[in-house]
Structure 1
Amino acid sequence: MTNWLPDIGTGDGPIYVRLADRIEQDISAGLLAAGARLPPQRDLAYDLGVTVGTVGRAYALMRERGLLSGEVGRGTYVRGRSVEGGRASTPASDESPLTDGTRLYDAPAEKLRFDSTAAPDVGQSDEIRALLGAIEREHPAELASYTRRFPQTWSAAGVSWLARNGFRPSPECIVPTLGVHAGVMAAISAATAPGDGIAFEHVTYSQLARGTRLIGRRTMLVASDEEGVIPEDFERLCAQRHPKMAFLMPTAQNPTLSIMPEARRRQIAAIAARHNVLLVEDDLYGALTDDPTPLLTTFAPDRTFLVGGLSKSVAAGVRGGWVLCPPHFTDRVRIAHKMTTGGMPFMLAELGARLVLSGAAAAIRKRTIGEINARLALAREALDGFDVVARPNIPFLWLALPEPWLSGTFKNAAFEQGVLIDDEDEFKAGRTEQVFHRARLGISAPRRREEVARGLAVIRDLLDGGRAGYDSFG
């Protein structure tokens, strides 16, 4: 396909959504026939004046809609439509990968997964297996039915896990959740209404921003620096655009690893109070750190939802999480969580509570931290001489890319060499002109340190070779 150029000047939503919608319209209009090959991402990005990552996200979204097939290395093609209903056909032989944002759900067998920060395998399955057996023996009736009660132990576990740096939550304000993501979405659903604005940093855990838009809220961007959200820009945003809530990661922010100092946390809390803005403090990575800075919740307990969970410290598959709510929101968040997730499964809630209260979670977290730091030592050695932001105990790095690398192009090059990483577009909460020329490297997913070392060697070779050693895929 050489002469097709989509018009993205009109439409709703971010550029990548508008591009995806235009592709779908052109397929429906017959301008793109079944089997037609779309332009390479780098070429279309150049023609449209957007980033390669933006085109990649549009193509990924179209694969989710079932209208495109292909993957990095072999091109992207328009799929055929079945006669019935006009839907895209799905041949049994089609191997087009499923995606989540710009990530693949399942990495090809030969690829190393550096795009995840879930807790590494440190043998936690032994503790989990023993606790699951005990739950099965002791609570057969609860396992056979829906969860209709919330034992006090579930809240006690949340108190223990969320307590940090002298702050201890009130158990009556704790809501057990299916992980941090579900907890944040429940807080947003309970405390805001469709049309309300939610503030996010330019780069952050962007799946929450996507979820926010999905339920009818508006995303607003606030500037940040190496110390987190900039108070002056937060004040400006609050005064001019009146967000209802702000999502923040004050400790070990994802992906920048910034830690907001105490003075700035006090400023943010004061600004939120002046403008009646609710706050969400995501402390998921904070639970791994030794950082002594008081939690943001300490300075604004009446307007802050503190969320934490087990996915980065213990085991992502457990889906254990808790929200500490301002007192008048607790029941609303519990109901919102049930409405948005279908309810808290007894097995997972009980397992999360027992992991924490038995001390197993703390023991696993200690082993997890040891393994992460061993892998960080490999990363420091492999990437010596390059600009890399890293922190002890945290399972990812924020790598600055030397000229002339672009983030999306570097991601594609790493993929071709067998390593999946995240470019900066994966973390952008909305349309932004801010460019970082960085990539995030997660080092916890590979099973063995030898695999981590091998992936880091690939990254190092790409950095040393530069664009001259990379022939972009077509």
Structure 2
Amino acid sequence: MTNWHPSIPDGQAPIYIRLADCIGEDIATGKLAAGTKLPPQRDLAYDLGVTVGTIGRAYAVVRQRGLVSGEVGRGTYVLGTNEGEMRDARFGSQDDSPQPPGTGAGQASSSEISWVQGAMKTPKDVAFSGTRITVPAPEAIRFDSTSAPDVGQARAIRDLTAEIADDSPYDIASYTRSVPDSWRQAGRIWLSRGNWQPQLGSIVPTTGAQAGIMSIIAATTAPGDQVAFEDLTYSSIARGSALSGRRPVQIQSDDEGPLPDDLARVCAQRHPKILFVMPTMHNPTTRLMGAQRRSDLVDVARRHNLWIIEDEVYGSLRTTDIAPFAEIAPERTFHVGSLSKAVTAGVRGGWVSSPNSHAQRIYTAHKMMTGGVSFLLSELSSRLVLSGIAATLRERVLDEIAARHQLVQQFISPFEHVSSKDAPFFWLKVPEPWLSGTFKAAAAAFHTLIDDEDEFKSGRSGKVYHHVRVGVTNPLTREETIKGLEVLRNLLEDSGAGYDSFE
């Protein structure tokens, strides 16, 4: 440990960027020597009078710059220049990794630090990224994520985790081989909608909603079977289905959701086994599906013996009296929810309410595909719900979403868009001559990351919407949100920029 105590320089950049720059400067000048362990995030946050999240982001920035390495349980260390330390910095790469100049032991020189920075940015190190940028520029504003905003979750998670460690030390150290009734009861509470409450025996805890959905698809279909999706939807499920050997098939939709007539046509011609829908808060359009449309889709599903996956991850943020699919058609509906959008994404708490005939099958499929749930995370998710803390945090999250919704109206209201005070994103139509992909690239050129419409297409399609989705809950502060909205507004106002090349 070092007695190093930084002084955050003045400036207009966010505090975490200024702190990261300070750390980089002290490493370059030798004030922080190679091998030095940086202070624990909580300690440094206390000393500087900032949040732990600020320190975490600063450490992440210097790690991205290749100046430090971090290991769970060990801490964060200033990188040295010997071969072993360089392999640590490069995420465990082996002897075929290129070596930096001057690999002798001792303090890193400026040229060696520059080499590390370059090495950390090579495509080889980000080969496992998805369709979104995994490690953006430190100054980037991430409007391409909709995880719950920071409303003080860390304190509750810390306290509950400490309680679990005291209460169940053996269970934390072992595999999870059974599901306590408390986990099912928590799922029952969290998934309940209006007058509907799932049966306790139907609840299957999962490692987040996506793992639950993929387990449902695995348990109800076979390779080669078709899975029906709207043309715009949460496309990771469609891609995951294709990766597992299932074949996504598109259903035409309107402002309420899938068109029953088109679903019937596809069922008659293609014979899909299951339909994926997001009825209460659709991603990316924010729309709500009405009661009659739900009833009509259930009629089609019953005629063609179609299973239904009802994704309510965003639905947990919206209050409605409309009966869920699980209430209308309990014999064929898998109702899925999680804490990720309304409470916290990092805990990976999720549940499936299954038709009774398939609860055990979903549990087994989830265990086979994921290795099973984590006791610590499942118990933590359960305690968050059963204690009432999750409900309190959801209210805080909704308050923050409503405040950011007001910012959206302040900056984006002159332009055509769909938004809601309970939605963590809005669906923006870009004016001519913009294309959604070009607009996304233009925003990225100003360090503002958004999603174009292709991110939500369940397959190749000739239909063009000229829309982008903008998530507003991921920036840490409203000030950062305003900065990103100003970028988007300036691009929208400058229609001529649509003809420029943004690469």
Letter paired with 2:373 = M
Return closer, same or farther for 1:270/1:104 CA change in 2, 3 Å cut-off. same
Q: Which has the higher contact order (CA 8 A, sep 6+)?
A: 1
Query: Is the partner of 2:482 in helix, strand or coil?
Result: helix
Equivalent position to 2:147, from 106, 110, 118: 118
Structure 2 CA distance for aligned equivalents of residues 104 and 384 of structure 1: 28
2:419 is matched with which residue? 390
**What is the aligned residue count?**
388
Identity rate, percent: 49
Equivalent position to 2:455, from 422, 426, 449: 426
Structure 2 CA distance for aligned equivalents of residues 469 and 174 of structure 1: 49
Structure 2 CA distance for aligned equivalents of residues 362 and 156 of structure 1: 15
Equivalent position to 2:278, from 233, 242, 249: 249
Equivalent position to 1:366, from 395, 401, 407: 395
Letter paired with 1:370 = D
Return closer, same or farther for 1:123/1:470 CA change in 2, 3 Å cut-off. farther
Structure 2 CA distance for aligned equivalents of residues 185 and 441 of structure 1: 26
Structure 2 CA distance for aligned equivalents of residues 246 and 384 of structure 1: 35
1:98 and 1:106 in contact (8 A); partners too: no
Deviation (angstroms), 1:252: 1.0
Letter paired with 1:92 = A
1:204 and 1:427 in contact (8 A); partners too: yes
Structure 2 CA distance for aligned equivalents of residues 109 and 278 of structure 1: 44
Deviation (angstroms), 1:468: 3.0
Equivalent position to 1:282, from 278, 295, 311: 311
Query: Is the partner of 1:316 in helix, strand or coil?
Result: coil
2:211 is matched with which residue? 182
Return closer, same or farther for 1:367/1:98 CA change in 2, 3 Å cut-off. farther
Equivalent position to 2:344, from 289, 299, 315: 315
Deviation (angstroms), 1:98: 5.2
Structure 1 CA distance for aligned equivalents of residues 165 and 366 of structure 2: 25
1:202 is matched with which residue? 231
Q: Greater CA deviation, 102-111 or 402-411?
A: 102-111
1:204 and 1:253 in contact (8 A); partners too: yes
Structure 2 CA distance for aligned equivalents of residues 93 and 352 of structure 1: 35
Deviation (angstroms), 1:101: 3.9
Structure 1 CA distance for aligned equivalents of residues 421 and 479 of structure 2: 20
1:98 and 1:104 in contact (8 A); partners too: no
Structure 1 CA distance for aligned equivalents of residues 259 and 97 of structure 2: 46
Alignment of 1:215-254 (within 5 A): 215-254=244-283
Letter paired with 1:256 = T
Q: Greater CA deviation, 290-299 or 324-333?
A: 290-299
1:81 is matched with which residue? none
Return closer, same or farther for 1:302/1:122 CA change in 2, 3 Å cut-off. same
Alignment of 1:36-435 (within 5 A): 92-96=119-123, 97=126, 100-435=129-464
Deviation (angstroms), 1:295: 0.7
TM-score normalised by L of structure 2: 0.75
Query: Is the partner of 2:119 in helix, strand or coil?
Result: coil
Structure 1 CA distance for aligned equivalents of residues 326 and 500 of structure 2: 49
Letter paired with 1:127 = A
Structure 2: gaps (5+ residues) = 1-95, 100-117
1:190 and 1:332 in contact (8 A); partners too: yes
2:450 and 2:468 in contact (8 A); partners too: yes
Deviations 1:189-241 (A, max 9, x none): 01111111000111111011111011110100001111111111111111111
2:295 and 2:328 in contact (8 A); partners too: yes
TM-score normalised by L of structure 1: 0.80
Deviation (angstroms), 1:107: 2.2
Structure 1: gaps (5+ residues) = 1-86
Q: Which has the higher Rg, Structure 1 or Structure 2?
A: 2
Deviations 1:69-113 (A, max 9, x none): xxxxxxxxxxxxxxxxxx999983544455644311122101100
Deviation (angstroms), 1:473: 3.3
RMSD: 1.6
Deviation (angstroms), 1:428: 0.8
Letter paired with 2:466 = H
Return closer, same or farther for 1:464/1:405 CA change in 2, 3 Å cut-off. same
Deviations 1:269-291 (A, max 9, x none): 11100000000000111110122
Return closer, same or farther for 1:462/1:153 CA change in 2, 3 Å cut-off. same
Structure 2 CA distance for aligned equivalents of residues 106 and 446 of structure 1: 15
